[in-house]
């Protein structure tokens, strides 16, 4: 408890500051972030910090469309985010690997709705988003959103040190789970929250102010029927601050795995992995 409670207090404080429309607070936070992390604002749809109403709007800034072209091949699964591949591999014995050393159960990561009725081996890819990365999450491959849910309560850090030192980190932290299905591919996309991440906001949420409880309810409810078909590259959600996504592909036999390497930097819209031309 001595770790969890301070993280919640810090998250609530930062949530208040990040949502503040006070120009002095907002500009101070943005300038401090720019000094520390040096983000590439030339990629941002809005580049003048005075045009952001809050620090949150700066942190979750959208990109110019042309800076992240979407790989459109039907055989390509694109990266859903900007980040670094931290782990990837087969799901062996219903267990995934964290930081190349800690095993954790897929059932606990994905929740009660998870089912694997076939004999196929699943493959997982874990991508870490650093503070300087773009923090919106996009669809890696066309599919029907067949289920969504929100799980977990803790808000531990998910940086490399935390991954090494905190077993079961991803199943302790709050997270959203989306399942996608198509004639070509079935997969899960898990977005894991972290310290100072107040919410994971789904794309079907309206544009009004959202509390963490509002976001949880929306994840558990899911999108309306007219919004449940997602296209490759479509925005799915965004993190208020930074975190991790885990992609779990149901049948690894469909995949050409040669292009995947741990610690590889990836950009949203670029090739993450190819399907075999079966």
pLDDT of residue 119: 66
Give the angle 174-82-216 at the CA atoms, nearest 5°: 25
Whole-number Å distance between alpha carbons of 45 and 65: 8
The separation between CA 180 and the C-alpha centre of its own chain, rounded to angstroms, equals 15
The pLDDT tens digits for 185-211 are: 999 999 998 766 557 889 998 766 667
The separation between CA 16 and the C-alpha centre of its own chain, rounded to angstroms, equals 22
pLDDT of residue 198: 56
pLDDT of residue 28: 94
> Taking the chain, what is the end-to-end CA distance rounded to the nearest angstrom?
50
Of 5-19, 22-36, 82-96, where does mean pLDDT reach its minimum? 5-19
Q: Is 11 exposed, middle or buried (0-12, 13-18, 19+ CB in 10 A)?
A: buried
Whole-number Å distance between alpha carbons of 78 and 187: 13
Residue numbers annotated as active site: 82, 138, 243
Q: Is the pLDDT of residue 4 over 50?
A: no
pLDDT of residue 117: 59
The pLDDT tens digits for 32-89 are: 999 998 988 999 999 899 999 998 889 889 999 899 999 999 999 999 999 999 889 9
pLDDT of residue 50: 92
The pLDDT tens digits for 98-156 are: 877 788 889 999 987 676 656 678 999 999 998 889 999 999 999 999 999 999 877 77
pLDDT of residue 102: 83
pLDDT cut 90: percent of the chain above it: 51
Contacts of 146 (CB under 8 A, 6+ apart): 179, 180, 181, 228
pLDDT of residue 191: 93
Whole-number Å distance between alpha carbons of 44 and 35: 17
């Amino acid at each position: 408890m001595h770790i969890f409670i301070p993280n919640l207090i810090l998250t609530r404080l930062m949530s208040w500051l990040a949502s503040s429309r006070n120009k002095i607070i907002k500009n101070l936070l943005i300038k401090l972030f720019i000094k520390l992390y040096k983000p590439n604002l030339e990629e941002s749809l809005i580049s003048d910090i005075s045009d952001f109403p809050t620090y949150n709007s700066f942190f979750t800034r959208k990109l110019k469309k042309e800076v992240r072209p979407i790989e459109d091949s039907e055989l390509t699964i694109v990266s859903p985010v900007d980040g670094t591949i931290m782990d990837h591999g087969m799901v062996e014995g219903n267990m995934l690997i964290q930081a190349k050393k800690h095993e954790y159960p897929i059932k606990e990561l994905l929740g009660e709705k998870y089912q694997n009725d076939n004999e196929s081996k699943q493959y997982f890819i874990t991508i870490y988003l650093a503070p300087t990365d773009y923090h919106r999450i996009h669809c890696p491959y066309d599919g029907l959103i067949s289920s969504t849910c929100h799980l977990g309560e803790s808000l531990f850090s998910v940086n490399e040190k935390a991954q090494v030192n905190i077993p079961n980190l991803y199943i302790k932290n709050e997270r959203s789970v989306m399942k996608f299905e198509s004639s070509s591919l079935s997969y899960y996309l898990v977005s894991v929250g972290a310290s100072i991440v107040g919410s994971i906001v789904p794309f079907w949420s309206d544009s009004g102010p959202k509390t963490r409880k509002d976001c949880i309810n929306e994840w558990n409810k899911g999108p309306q029927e007219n919004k449940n078909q997602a296209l490759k590259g479509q925005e799915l959600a965004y993190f208020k601050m930074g975190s991790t996504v885990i992609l779990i592909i149901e049948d690894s036999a469909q995949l050409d795995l040669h292009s995947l390497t741990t610690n590889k930097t990836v950009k949203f819209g670029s090739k993450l992995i190819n399907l075999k031309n079966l």
